[in-house]
Chains A and B, each alone.
Chain A
C-alpha cells in the first residue's frame, strides 16, 4: 500500500481516519496541534464527514468525545500534557463510565519544556485511571496504534491513552497505511445507566474496572508492540519505553548485545520484567519523561538488584533523552563535535515586529507607572513574551486562565489595582469563569483581553472568542461603562494609555479590549484568499 511521509501527530490523525473515527476533538497545544490540523486538511476526512472542529478547551473536547463514544461512534481527543490537567475530571471519570464507541485520548508530553510550563508525564494519568496506554516508538507505530486503539478501547470498554512526546510528534517519517475501516453506525449503550455515575452505579462500574485489570495485563503480555529481545550479554537488561528504544538502537547499528524489553503498551507486562530481572545482573530503564517505570521497579526500599536510570544519576533526572545520553548511560564513548564558540548568543523568541501586543504593553507600562511594579498577572500565549525585554511587563504566567483569578486573590490581599492580561483564545478557554468570580466579588481589577482574533502562539487556529468578547463580558455582568475597546497602534498610544489609566483608577471590575488581528494570521488569511 502507498507510503506517506508524516509527522508523528499526522500519523495519528491518518491512523484514526483509517481506523473508522467519526470525530476529532481538541484544543490546540504544542506538541499535539498537528493532529487536528491534519484532520482539518484531510480531503478524506471531509468526504467521510468526520467532525474536526476545535473545542473551547481540553475539558469540553474530552466530554464531547465521550458523548460521541456514548452514541456508539469512534472518537479521539487530542491535547498537550497540561491540557490533560484541564480535562482530568472528565478523563478520570470516563474510565469509570467506560465507553460505547472506541475512545482514544492523545496526550503529547513535552520533556525539556520546548514550549511548555512543565514536563509532567501523562503516563501517571493513565496509571491513575487504570486504563491501557500506548506509547509509540516511531511514526508507523503511532499510525498503527491510532488505528487499532479503537478496537482495544471497545474490547475492554475503557478509553485508551495514547502518549507521545515532542520528538515523535514533530518528526517526519514514512508510514504505510492499513485497511480503511468504515465508521460505526452508532448505537446506544446496552446498559442505559452505564454513564450515570450515581454512587451506586459508580461503585459497580469501578468494580468492573478493577476486575478487568488482569485482562489488561494479559493484553500487554500479548501485545505486538511489546517485545522481549534477548541478548547474550546479561550484565545489563534494558527496558526501553516508547521513543527511547530508538535512542538505544541508534547506538547499536549491528544489534544490541544486552537483553531488551521494548515497551510500548501498558500496564507494564510483568512476565517480561520478571524474565529480564532474573536473567540480568542489573537493569537500566530508558524512558522519556518521569522515571515511572524505574520507580516501580525499584520499589520504595530499593532493596533488589541495581536499577539504573534517572533516579541514580545514570541519566539526568530531568529533560529529554537523546542518543548521546543513552550512550553515556551504557558507558559508550561517542566523539562529539567541537563546542560552539562563546560568541554564539541565545536567541530567545520574541513578539513579531508590528504585533498588537507590543502596543498594548507600551500603553499598559506607561499607565501603570504611578502604582508601582509587580501587579500584572498574565496568562499563556504570545503575549507571555511581554515578560522579556524591552517590556518586562508581566509578573506571572502559570496556567491558562490564571491571570484573572490570581489578580482577584492579589487584590483581596490589598494589591490594588491588580491587572490581568489574557489573550482572546485563553479567555474563552478558561478566563470567563474567573471574570464571573470577579464580577460577583466586585474585585478592583482591570482585565486586559488582548484580542488578536486568533490563537497565535500555536500557529493561528480559529479563536472561539472571535467577535464575541464584549458581549460575553456584558453577559457575565461587567458594567458596560467599563468595557473599553481600543486599537493597539502606535498612533493611538496616548489615547490608549489614558483609557487604561482611567480604568485602573476605577474601583471595580473593568475590561479593556485591545483589538487588532495578529499580523501572521492576517497574512495567512490573505494568502488563502488569493489562492481561492
Chain B
C-alpha cells in the first residue's frame, strides 16, 4: 500500500496543516512517511507545494517522481493544474474552485473551470462556501482534506484523532469546527462521486 499526494496552494493558505494532519494519522498507524515542504521565499504569496508519501514499506525519495502521484490535493484551482506532470494516469485531482488571485495575469475563470472539467478524474468543490456555511470560514483547507479523505486509505476517525492532537490546546470549539469541516468536505465529495 502506497499513497503519493501532491498538496498545492499559495503561501499562507494552510496546506502544511493538511499535510501535518495526514502525517500524524499515518504515523499513528505505524506507516512510513515522507513529507517534503516548501519553506522560505515562496511562502510570501508564491506557489507552494508539499510532496506527501505514505506507505507500509520503506520510502526512499522525499520527492514524488513525475507521473506517480495518486492525488493532487489543491486548495486553489490554478495551482491544481500546475502539478499535472506529477499525476499518474489514474490519479485524481481534488481541488477547491475558489481562485486566489494575487497576480495580474491570472487566467480567465471560465477557461480555468473548463480545464478542470476536462480532467478525467476530478473532484472540484467550493470549499470556501462549504466552510462558510458551517460557520467556519477559516477551515476551507480542512474541508479539502475531508474531500480527499476517502482516497487516503486512512480512516476518517484517524484523521479526527489527528485534528484533536493538533488543535486540542486551542480549545474544544476549534477542534469541533475542524471536525465538522472535515465531514462537510467528505460529504461534498461523496455527493459528486455518486
From B11, B104, B107, contact of A349 by CB (8 A): B11
Q: Which of B88-118 contact A (CB under 8 A)?
A: 88-89, 91, 102-108, 111-112, 115
Residue B35, interface by CB 8 Å = yes
Question: Would A114 and B66 count as touching, CB distance under 8 A?
Answer: no
Residue B194, interface by CB 8 Å = no
Q: Which of A323, A382, A459 neighbours the largest number of chain B CB atoms within 10 Å of its CB?
A: A323
The distance from the CB of B9 to the nearest CB of chain A, in whole angstroms, is 10
**Bound Cα distance from A136 to B124, whole angstroms:** 40
Residue B135, interface by CB 8 Å = no
Q: Which of B46-75 contact A (CB under 8 A)?
A: 46-47, 51, 59-63, 65-69
Q: Which of B6-55 contact A (CB under 8 A)?
A: 10-11, 23-24, 27, 32-47, 51
**Bound Cα distance from A532 to B121, whole angstroms:** 47
Question: Would A339 and B85 count as touching, CB distance under 8 A?
Answer: yes
Instruction: Return chain A residues, CB-CB under 8 Å to B10.
Output: 347
Question: Would A170 and B36 count as touching, CB distance under 8 A?
Answer: yes
Q: Answer whether A351 and B62 are a contact pair too, CB < 8 Å, given A336-B85, A338-B84, A340-B84.
A: no
Question: Would A350 and B102 count as touching, CB distance under 8 A?
Answer: yes
Q: Answer whether A31 and B40 are a contact pair too, CB < 8 Å, given A167-B63, A345-B103.
A: yes
**Bound Cα distance from A450 to B54, whole angstroms:** 44
Question: Would A351 and B44 count as touching, CB distance under 8 A?
Answer: yes
Question: Would A338 and B38 count as touching, CB distance under 8 A?
Answer: no
Question: Would B36 and A338 count as touching, CB distance under 8 A?
Answer: no
Residue B174, interface by CB 8 Å = no
**Bound Cα distance from A336 to B89, whole angstroms:** 8
Residue A457, interface by CB 8 Å = yes
Residue A398, interface by CB 8 Å = no
Question: Would B111 and A343 count as touching, CB distance under 8 A?
Answer: yes
Instruction: Return chain B residues, CB-CB under 8 Å to A115.
Output: 39-42
**Bound Cα distance from A459 to B37, whole angstroms:** 15
Question: Would B38 and A170 count as touching, CB distance under 8 A?
Answer: yes
Task: Name B57's closest neighbour in chain A (CB-CB).
Answer: A253
Q: Which of A251, A327, A348, A351 neighbours the largest number of chain B CB atoms within 10 Å of its CB?
A: A348
From A167, A243, A347, A351, contact of B103 by CB (8 A): A347
Q: Which of the candidate stretches A171-179, A208-216, A470-478 sits at the interface with the other chain?
A: A171-179
From B27, B47, B65, contact of A250 by CB (8 A): B65
Question: Would B40 and A347 count as touching, CB distance under 8 A?
Answer: no
From B85, B105, B111, contact of A338 by CB (8 A): B85
Residue A442, interface by CB 8 Å = no
Question: Would A114 and B87 count as touching, CB distance under 8 A?
Answer: no
Question: Would B63 and A323 count as touching, CB distance under 8 A?
Answer: yes
Residue A334, interface by CB 8 Å = yes
Question: Would B115 and A341 count as touching, CB distance under 8 A?
Answer: yes
The distance from the CB of A453 to the nearest CB of chain B, in whole angstroms, is 17
Interface size class of A (residues with CB under 8 A): 35 or more
Interface 1/0s, chain A 1-13, versus B by CB < 8 A?
Answer: 0010101000000
**Bound Cα distance from A458 to B41, whole angstroms:** 8
From B32, B37, B106, contact of A345 by CB (8 A): B106
Question: Would B35 and A459 count as touching, CB distance under 8 A?
Answer: no
Residue B152, interface by CB 8 Å = no
The distance from the CB of B85 to the nearest CB of chain A, in whole angstroms, is 5
Q: Answer whether A347 and B32 are a contact pair too, CB < 8 Å, given A5-B23, A250-B65.
A: no
Question: Would A171 and B36 count as touching, CB distance under 8 A?
Answer: yes
**Bound Cα distance from A350 to B11, whole angstroms:** 10
Instruction: Return chain B residues, CB-CB under 8 Å to A170.
Output: 36-39
Question: Would B78 and A349 count as touching, CB distance under 8 A?
Answer: no
Interface 1/0s, chain A 345-378, versus B by CB < 8 A?
Answer: 1111111100000000000000000000000000
Question: Would B33 and A5 count as touching, CB distance under 8 A?
Answer: yes
**Bound Cα distance from A288 to B42, whole angstroms:** 21
**Bound Cα distance from A371 to B63, whole angstroms:** 49
Instruction: Return chain B residues, CB-CB under 8 Å to A322.
Output: 61, 63, 65
Q: Which of A45-59 contact B (CB under 8 A)?
A: none
**Bound Cα distance from A216 to B34, whole angstroms:** 33
**Bound Cα distance from A167 to B59, whole angstroms:** 15
Residue B177, interface by CB 8 Å = no
Question: Would B111 and A168 count as touching, CB distance under 8 A?
Answer: no
Instruction: Return chain B residues, CB-CB under 8 Å to A301.
Output: none
Question: Would A250 and B60 count as touching, CB distance under 8 A?
Answer: yes
Question: Would A352 and B85 count as touching, CB distance under 8 A?
Answer: no
Question: Would B78 and A344 count as touching, CB distance under 8 A?
Answer: yes
Q: Which of B140-192 contact A (CB under 8 A)?
A: none
Task: Name A9's closest neighbour in chain B (CB-CB).
Answer: B39
Instruction: Return chain B residues, CB-CB under 8 Å to A343.
Output: 78, 81, 107-108, 111-112, 115
**Bound Cα distance from A389 to B84, whole angstroms:** 28
The distance from the CB of A171 to the nearest CB of chain B, in whole angstroms, is 4
From A345, A350, A457, contact of B105 by CB (8 A): A345
Instruction: Return chain B residues, CB-CB under 8 Å to A344.
Output: 78, 81-82, 107
The distance from the CB of B55 to the nearest CB of chain A, in whole angstroms, is 10
Question: Would B67 and A334 count as touching, CB distance under 8 A?
Answer: yes
**Bound Cα distance from A172 to B38, whole angstroms:** 11
Question: Would A171 and B60 count as touching, CB distance under 8 A?
Answer: no
Task: Name B46's closest neighbour in chain A (CB-CB).
Answer: A349
Q: Answer whether A324 and B38 are a contact pair too, CB < 8 Å, given A250-B60, A347-B47, A349-B46.
A: no
Q: Answer whether A246 and B61 are a contact pair too, CB < 8 Å, given A167-B36, A340-B85.
A: yes
The distance from the CB of A245 to the nearest CB of chain B, in whole angstroms, is 8
Instruction: Return chain A residues, CB-CB under 8 Å to B112.
Output: 343
Interface 1/0s, chain A 495-520, versus B by CB < 8 A?
Answer: 00000000000000000000000000
Question: Would A459 and B39 count as touching, CB distance under 8 A?
Answer: yes
Q: Answer whether A347 and B44 are a contact pair too, CB < 8 Å, given A172-B37, A335-B89, A340-B85.
A: no
Residue A337, interface by CB 8 Å = yes
Instruction: Return chain B residues, CB-CB under 8 Å to A7.
Output: 37
Task: Name A7's closest neighbour in chain B (CB-CB).
Answer: B37
Q: Answer whether A458 and B40 are a contact pair too, CB < 8 Å, given A174-B33, A337-B88.
A: yes
Q: Which of A34, A171, A174, A339 neighbours the largest number of chain B CB atoms within 10 Å of its CB?
A: A171
Q: Which of B34, B83, B108 neighbours the largest number of chain A CB atoms within 10 Å of its CB?
A: B34
Instruction: Return chain A residues, CB-CB under 8 Å to B88.
Output: 337
Task: Name A347's closest neighbour in chain B (CB-CB).
Answer: B47
Q: What would be 16 A-B contacts, judged by CB atoms less than 8 Å apart?
A: A114-B42, A115-B40, A167-B36, A172-B35, A174-B32, A249-B60, A250-B65, A324-B66, A334-B65, A334-B68, A337-B89, A337-B91, A344-B82, A344-B107, A350-B102, A457-B41
Given contacts A171-B34, A337-B89, 5 further A-B contacts (CB under 8 A): A322-B65, A327-B65, A336-B66, A338-B87, A343-B78
